[in-house]
């Protein structure tokens, strides 16, 4: 037995020594450069072999969507992102590019949780003194703003191929950004990235290049729909972050659906493929947008009426009905129309903009105290919101019209594909 214990002790010492040697070797920058070059070389060689047909792209297609999901998940855990993007590009030639993009994007986003978890638990395991130093760094103005408004930076970093996303995931974890606030922009960005790669691969491999197909053929594809969705979302996001008044989300998407349909209809007319059905759908889309504008105007009128009633309940003797109407209009101009406050509640949590709250505070401050009772027994910020019973049907009509506008756009795309 003592001999056995001695052998076990020696084996443990050998393992410790070998691990030390491994760490010393990996610390050598030349070794790291060699490993990096080897990995990049293998990735480039694989891509060239797939492009030249030396490795059949059907082999990647045989993985299926679940295989691509698992590959992207594993690749998301790894510190280099090339393999899953190469697989996405070539698999799209064999499978549906939309399915490929979603499978690879969602898998990659879940895999990136490893980097987030590493940063989170590394921070949690630090000594109090070290954690205090990290917290002091985290309170730097730049990092504080990045932490409070993390959605857009994470979305951009996840959507654009770059070498900085893995360390940023660890930093997000160490800053203890909430899991949902981290994951939502990452899954959207990763999915958009892989959808772009998948459709680029689809048109490059299945149709040689985009130059071999007509513009009308491209515009009547799923890629065009995704492009319009991406542009609409990006335009709304930029305006929401840059301006103090949140941009109307569904109205913005309704206009972009009409814009996409107009572009497609004009190109079909130029190519000589215009039909009565396509023109009928365009007319329907225009009517939907007009109805959407009418609904928004009704929302405005309903908000003014509510503010007038509310101000009359809290006016002082010196305030006339004409002045109440005037100040109701002023309140709406400043506080804005909000027929779905739950949505802006989510927006506040994600972006930390608190735009609605700020504008309501501004509206409350501008009310003259000699005309209205302001405070606990008078006008309060929480009541500067139309009651749910008065707004739900106008909100439902607003959402339905947006849905119908996109239904018309997608239907137009499907008809164009059929006629081409």
Q: What is the mean pLDDT of residues 146-171?
A: 70
Integer CA distances (angstroms), 250 to 118, 282, 368, 409, in order: 38, 19, 34, 15
Evaluate if residue 409 carries a pLDDT over 70: yes
Q: Is the pTM of this model over 0.75?
A: no
Q: What are 188-240's pLDDT values in tens digits? A: 888 888 888 888 777 766 654 444 445 555 555 666 777 778 777 776 766 66
Beta bridge partners, 374, equal: 379
Cβ atoms of residues 109 and 187 within 8 Å = yes
- Per-residue pLDDT band for 82 (boundaries 50, 70, 90) equals low
Q: How confident is the model at residue 67 (pLDDT cuts 50, 70, 90)?
A: confident
Q: What is the pLDDT of residue 405?
A: 92
**Cα gap 319→321, rounded to integer Å:** 7
Q: Backbone dihedral region of 98: left (phi > 0), alpha (psi from -120 to 50 degrees) or beta?
A: alpha
Q: Would you state the pLDDT for residue 156?
A: 79
CA distances from 342 to 316, 338, 349, 402 (A): 33, 9, 11, 18
The owner of tokens 């970093």 is: 157
* Residue whose structure tokens are 């020696």: 10
- Average pLDDT over the chain, rounded to whole? 71
Whole-number Å distance between alpha carbons of 235 and 256? 10
């Amino acid at each position: 037995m003592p001999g056995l214990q001695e052998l076990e002790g020696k084996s443990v010492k050998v393992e410790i020594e070998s691990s030390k040697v491994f760490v010393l070797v990996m610390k050598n920058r030349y070794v790291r450069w060699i490993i990096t070059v080897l990995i990049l070389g293998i990735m480039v060689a694989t891509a060239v072999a797939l492009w030249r047909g030396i490795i059949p792209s059907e082999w990647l297609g045989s993985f299926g969507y679940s295989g691509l999901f698992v590959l992207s998940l594993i690749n998301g855990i790894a510190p280099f992102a090339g393999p899953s993007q190469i697989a996405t590009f070539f698999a799209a030639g064999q499978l549906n590019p939309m399915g490929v993009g979603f499978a690879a994007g969602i898998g990659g986003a879940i895999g990136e949780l490893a980097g987030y978890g590493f940063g989170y638990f590394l921070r949690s395991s630090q000594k109090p003194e070290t954690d205090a130093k990290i917290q002091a760094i985290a309170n730097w103005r730049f990092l504080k703003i990045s932490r409070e408004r993390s959605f857009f930076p994470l979305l951009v970093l996840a959507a654009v191929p770059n070498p900085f996303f893995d360390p940023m995931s660890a930093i997000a974890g160490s800053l203890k950004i909430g899991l949902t606030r981290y994951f939502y922009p990452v899954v959207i960005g990763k999915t958009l990235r892989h959808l772009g790669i998948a459709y680029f691969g689809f048109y490059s491999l299945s149709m040689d290049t985009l130059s071999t197909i007509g513009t009308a053929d491209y515009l009547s594809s799923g890629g065009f729909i995704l492009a319009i969705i991406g542009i609409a979302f990006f335009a709304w996001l930029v305006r929401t972050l840059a301006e103090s008044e949140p941009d109307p989300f569904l109205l913005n998407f309704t206009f972009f659906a009409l814009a996409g349909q107009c572009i497609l209809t004009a190109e079909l007319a130029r190519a000589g493929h215009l039909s009565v059905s396509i023109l009928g759908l365009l007319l329907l889309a225009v009517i939907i947008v007009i109805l959407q504008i009418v609904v928004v105007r009704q929302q405005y009128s309903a908000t003014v009426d509510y503010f007038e009633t509310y101000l009359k309940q809290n006016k002082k003797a010196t305030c006339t009905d004409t002045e109440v109407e005037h100040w109701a209009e002023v309140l709406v101009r400043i506080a804005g129309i909000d027929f779905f406050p739950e949505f802006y509640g989510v927006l506040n949590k994600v972006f930390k903009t608190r735009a609605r709250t700020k504008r309501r505070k501004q509206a409350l401050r501008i009310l003259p105290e000699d005309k209205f009772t302001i405070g606990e027994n008078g006008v309060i910020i929480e009541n500067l919101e139309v009651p749910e019973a008065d707004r739900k049907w106008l909100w439902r009509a607003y959402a339905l019209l947006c849905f119908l506008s996109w239904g018309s756009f997608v239907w137009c795309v499907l008809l164009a594909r059929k006629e081409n």
